[in-house]
């Protein structure tokens, strides 16, 4: 898969997230009511925002504990909603909170440092996809799920969610240079898994 195709898939994922956010925009009074402890207003916010939060969590974690983490996000929303001052859109605030919950989970894992492994043999970690579904978006999601945690998180944050490298560095407590290097590796691995070399061409 060429770089343009890879970026196109990431752009489509970003567009899907944006469209979902627009289609589920919640009335400001629901946010205000929920912040005062109104359970029904919070239920409306939960139902409206559950799909896009779950999608973000699933992509960042490759589906691992996605349901549990999504619930953790909304528990955190309930706990912190009173601190929301309206300086940004509620969807933006919720998005950042969800990202932070996912990152905190990864920080508790013993393999945290391994996720940002810099050895060149990272390119050999996974075999190319053996079969193609015929659905490029489905293949892309499958390949994304197979990336190492660090590379996948940075790809999702940068290419799908639109974060800048310095923002990612601050979130993950790494350098901006490491973020750039991991993004490059993620793109190369995705291209390799989505467009494996044809053995027949190699033998010609």
pLDDT per position as a tens digit, 190-200: 888 777 666 55
Taking each helix axis from N to C end, the angle separating 39-61 and 90-107, rounded to the nearest 10 degrees, works out to 50
pTM of this structure: 0.67
Calculate ∠ Cα 56-174-139, nearest 5°: 35
pLDDT per position as a tens digit, 18-45: 434 444 445 668 999 999 999 999 999 9
Long-range CB contacts (< 8 A, 24+ apart) of 19-23? 20/51, 20/52, 20/55, 21/52, 21/91
What domains are there in the chain, each with its CATH number?
3-108+124-196 (1.10.1740.10)
Residue 98: CB atoms within 10 A of its CB come to 24
Rounded CA-CA distance 5/10 in Å is 9
pLDDT (mean) for 95-106: 90
**Which residue, chain included where needed, has tokens 């029904």?**
40
pLDDT of 24 reads 44
pLDDT per position as a tens digit, 109-150: 645 445 454 444 433 443 443 444 445 566 778 888 888 888
Rounded CA-CA distance 138/144 in Å is 10
pLDDT (mean) for 62-68: 89
């Amino acid at each position: 898969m060429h770089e343009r195709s890879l970026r196109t898939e990431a752009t489509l994922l970003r567009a899907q997230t944006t469209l979902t956010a627009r289609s589920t925009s919640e009335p400001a009074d629901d946010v205000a009511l929920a912040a005062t402890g109104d359970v029904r207003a919070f239920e409306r916010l939960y139902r409206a925002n559950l799909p896009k939060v779950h999608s973000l969590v699933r992509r960042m974690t490759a589906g691992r504990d996605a349901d549990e983490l999504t619930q953790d996000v909304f528990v955190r929303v309930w706990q912190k909603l009173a601190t929301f001052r309206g300086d940004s859109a509620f969807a933006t605030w919720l998005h950042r909170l969800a990202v932070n919950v996912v990152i905190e989970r990864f920080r508790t894992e013993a393999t945290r440092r391994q996720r940002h492994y810099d050895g060149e043999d990272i390119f050999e970690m996974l075999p190319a996809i053996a079969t193609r579904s015929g659905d490029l978006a489905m293949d892309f999601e499958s390949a994304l799920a197979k990336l190492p945690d660090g590379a996948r998180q940075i790809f999702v944050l940068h290419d799908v969610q639109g974060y800048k490298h310095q923002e990612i560095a601050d979130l993950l407590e790494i350098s901006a240079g490491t973020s750039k290097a991991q993004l490059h590796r993620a793109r190369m691995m995705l291209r390799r898994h989505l467009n494996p070399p044809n053995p027949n061409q190699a033998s010609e």
